[in-house]
Amino acid sequence: GAAGAVEGRMPCVPEGRHWGVPRSSCPPPRLFFAGPGEGQGKQTVAVGVLEINCDFLILEACRLFCGGVGHTQRVELVPGRAHAVRTLSLKPLLFEIPDFLTEEECKLIVHLAQLKGLQKSQILPTDDYEEAMEMIEISQMDIFNLLDHNQDGQLQLKEVLTHTRLGNGRWMTPENIREMYTAVKADPDGNGVLSLEEFKQLNIRDFHKYMGSQKVKMSDLVRNSQHTWLYQGEGAHQVMRAIRQRVMRLTRLPPEIVEHSEPLQVVRYDQGGHYHAHMDSGPVFPETACSHTKLVANESAPFETSCRYVTVLFYLNNVTGGGETVFPIADNRTYEEMSLIQNDIDLRDTRKNCDKGNLRVKPQQGTAVFWYNYLSDGEGWVGELDDFALHGGCLVTQGTKWIANNWINVDPNRRRQLRFEQEMARYAGAEAGAPGEWTVDKAYSGVHVEL
């Protein structure tokens, strides 16, 4: 049947959240570029499910219907074949699609990744990061207030833990924090709590120096894996192109958005591998820029972040032991960051506490899971980061785990995304001598081997 033609639909908009307006079917997704003359007087046009201000880029797309947890809909992702799409959670809006990839496609992706060569996946601060930290004008008092989540005038261990996840790539625990306090003489009375007076005596640089001096084992890292990137643009292997087309059909996002997003990331976790719970995207503050649009932003920002509207994760093999994808707080009634750590049990710790997470997806070759990292702003664009999209890779206890990620990049700042798309179109015209298709993968052609 037609993509998205499902009976018995239910709205999937929990109270106080915006995911757009459901419709029984969606027209083919397109991008509209409205010039000043076309948007006079804040004119709006009907675009599928939405009416959007013509002054902005119009993203015509539908979020998939959820139909409630456990609901299954049929979506035609390959001509003549309907795939089952099952709703796993509403917060985040998360789906599972068995047999998204064939066994042969999975094996080919692994083979291409091995030919390309994988590198260790590290999350380490760069010199640029340290320089940016020095550029930010923030007082010791401001830092204290930022860390003091409950505003009681003292810093408990779990308050510090939530802000020190990335240190030097080491996963921080209460024991690590106590060791650091001792090393930099931060806690004279040894009670594990920092008062404002104690905090004022500290030199924050001492913390950075301490973290940088620590040698860590792979099992102590935030992430223990290897990865590479595979080109999916024009001229890529036909399977790479076919997967990208399938993702377009699944997400119903405009081809331009998908084509201008990141290449396919392929990841290998050996026995003992893990990835502690994290967000695929970062919040966008005034001092941050999206990585994919920063060059056209015409703004100076000390930080950049990945703006990944959608994650499509593919399981490329069956894992003998462990390796589930965990969503620790999926479908919780509320989100409270401090509640992630209770009685020294950290729900973000995927080596120890995966079994305590709300939702775990077992790796099964060919299956895809697909979720939104952002809410809608209620006006047809990307809104706030969805905190419930927190997820991680559980410890692989036996065998090897192979996955791949397709991330679809959209800037929450609609005007920046518009500028980006216009520049991409202009680049295509200049390169081809006429309007043509341009993919951001071409920017990677000098870095990523075209297989």
Q: Taking the alpha carbons of 368, 438, 279, 229 in that order, is the dihedral positive or negative?
A: positive
Sheet strands (E) in 61-215: 72-78, 81-89, 94-97, 119-120, 154-155, 194-195
Residue 315, beta-bridge partner list: 403
DSSP string for residues in 172-233: P-HHHHHHHHHHTT--TT-SS-EEHHHHHT--HHHHHHHHHH----GGGBSEE-EEEEE--S
Residue 346, beta-bridge partner list: 341
Q: Taking the alpha carbons of 416, 421, 426, 432 in that order, is the dihedral positive or negative?
A: positive
Choose among 380, 336, 303: nearest CA to 53: 380
Q: What architecture does CATH give domain 63-120+222-444?
A: Sandwich (2.60)
Exposed, middle or buried, 329 (CB in 10 Å: 0-12/13-18/19+)?
A: buried
The pLDDT of residue 173 is 80
Integer Cα distance of 166 and 168 in angstroms: 6
Q: Taking the alpha carbons of 136, 141, 144, 150 in that order, is the dihedral positive or negative?
A: negative
Choose among 309, 301, 222, 225: nearest CA to 262: 309
Determine the angle formed by the axes of helices 103-116 and 238-251, rounding to 10 degrees. Answer: 120
| Size of the chain in residues | 451
The pLDDT of residue 234 is 87
The per-residue pLDDT for range 206-243, each reduced to its tens digit, is 877 887 777 778 888 889 999 999 999 889 999 999 99
DSSP string for residues in 317-346: S--SEE--EEETTTT-SS--GGGGEETTEE
Are 4 and 65 a contacting pair, CB within 8 Å?
A: yes
The pLDDT of residue 172 is 81
> Where do you find CATH 1.10.238.10 in the chain?
127-220
Flag residues of the chain having pLDDT under 50: 1-58, 60-61, 166, 434-451
Tokens encoding 81: 């074949």
Exposed, middle or buried, 175 (CB in 10 Å: 0-12/13-18/19+)?
A: exposed
The pLDDT of residue 202 is 83
Which of left, alpha, beta for 404 (phi over 0: left; psi -120 to 50: alpha)? beta
Question: What is the fold of 127-220?
Answer: Recoverin; domain 1 (1.10.238)
SS3 letters for 226-273?
EEEEECCCCCCCHHHHHHHHHHHHHHCCCHHHHHCCCCEEEEEECCCC
Integer Cα distance of 414 and 265 in angstroms: 26
Which residue's structure tokens are 């593919």?
A: 314
Global confidence as pTM: 0.80
> Where do you find CATH 2.60.120.620 in the chain?
63-120+222-444
Choose among 168, 81, 67: nearest CA to 123: 168
The pLDDT of residue 275 is 96
DSSP 294: G
Integer Cα distance of 421 and 442 in angstroms: 15
The pLDDT of residue 1 is 33
Over the Cα atoms of the chain, what is R_g? 23
